[in-house]
């Protein structure tokens, strides 16, 4: 596991968390890996719009931060799978309220009443927002 990128420079906990999950794609990568272990190509399809270079870079950073585990299998051709570590699972749990807030915000913007998280008979998720 890698040491914090900016030791001592954090103003608060949010600052430290954003250092790990900052960027357009990292949270979406985390949500995709929350569903199941994925290979690189599966992740690329699960996060439409991300380039191979950016996905590779973000996976490396998440691995360095101890959020993602990279498993290389000694096969021909080589197989590599990515999964969340226990730290990554706890980070996703911390992001769940943010996802609920985002869903409520989108529903309000669409003129609908907000849907409480976990409510029975809740409306279908908005495309592209995914549910934990």
Rounded to 10 degrees, the C-alpha dihedral 7/11/16/17 comes to 180
Q: Residue 78: pLDDT band by 50, 70, 90 thresholds? A: confident
Q: What is the pLDDT of residue 108?
A: 80
pTM as predicted: 0.73
Regarding predicted confidence, which is higher, 76 or 115? 76
In the predicted model, what is the mean pLDDT of residues 6-22? 79
Q: What span, in angstroms and rounded, lies between the C-alpha atoms of 44 and 60?
A: 14
Q: What span, in angstroms and rounded, lies between the C-alpha atoms of 54 and 117?
A: 32
In the predicted model, what is the mean pLDDT of residues 21-29? 91
Q: What span, in angstroms and rounded, lies between the C-alpha atoms of 73 and 117?
A: 39
Decide: helix, strand or coil at residue 3: coil
SS3 of 14-83: the string is: HHHHHHHHCCCCHHHHHHHHHHCCEEHHHHHHHCCCCCHHHHHHHHHHHHHCCCEEEEEECCCCCEEEEE
pLDDT digits (tens, 9 = 90+) for 86-128: 999 999 999 999 889 988 988 887 665 555 555 444 444 434 4
Q: Nearest-5° angle of CA 109, CA 111, CA 113?
A: 100
What percent of the chain shows pLDDT beyond 70? 76
Q: What is the pLDDT of residue 54?
A: 95
- Return mean pLDDT, the chain: 81
Distance from the first to the final alpha carbon of the chain: 26
């Amino acid at each position: 596991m890698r040491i914090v990128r900016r030791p001592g420079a954090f103003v608060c906990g949010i600052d430290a968390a954003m250092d790990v999950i900052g960027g357009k794609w990292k949270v979406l990568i985390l949500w995709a890996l929350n569903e199941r272990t994925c290979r690189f190509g599966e992740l690329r399809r699960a996060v439409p719009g991300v380039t191979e270079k950016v996905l590779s870079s973000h996976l490396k950073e998440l691995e360095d931060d101890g959020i993602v585990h990279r498993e290389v299998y000694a096969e021909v051709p080589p197989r590599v799978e990515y999964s969340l570590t226990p730290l990554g699972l706890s980070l996703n749990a911390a992001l769940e309220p943010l996802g609920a807030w985002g869903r409520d915000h989108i529903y309000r913007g669409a003129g609908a009443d907000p849907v409480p998280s976990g409510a029975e008979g809740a409306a279908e998720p908005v495309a592209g927002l995914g549910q934990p």
